[in-house]
Amino acid sequence: MYITFITRYADAIEVIKKYDYPGNAADEVAEVLGINRDEVGFIYDMFNPVLFSASRLQTIKTMLGDNL
């Protein structure tokens, strides 16, 4: 599982960015990574997926405005 995370975490982040909450992306993350849904929790425990959620990214863009 750890190898999957370190080699494919960018793929997981790309999926998470489409959702307002990382939990909503769990099924798609599992499919993209070729793991089962229960293993997604292990992946999520290794980094903070909330940082990459659509709502968080929008908040950051709003706060930074043209300085992005």
pLDDT tens, 54-64? Answer: 999 999 889 98
Strands (E) across the chain are located at none
pTM of the model: 0.78
Distance CA 63, CA 9 (A): 26
- Pick from 7, 8, 5, 26: which is nearest to 16 by CA? 26
User: What is the residue-averaged pLDDT of the chain?
Assistant: 88
Structure confidence at residue 68 (pLDDT): 58
Say yes or no to pLDDT of 66 above 90: no
Digit-coded pLDDT (tens) for 15-26: 999 999 999 999
Q: Report CA Rg, the chain.
A: 13
Instruction: Give counts: helices (H), strands (E), the chain.
Output: 4, 0
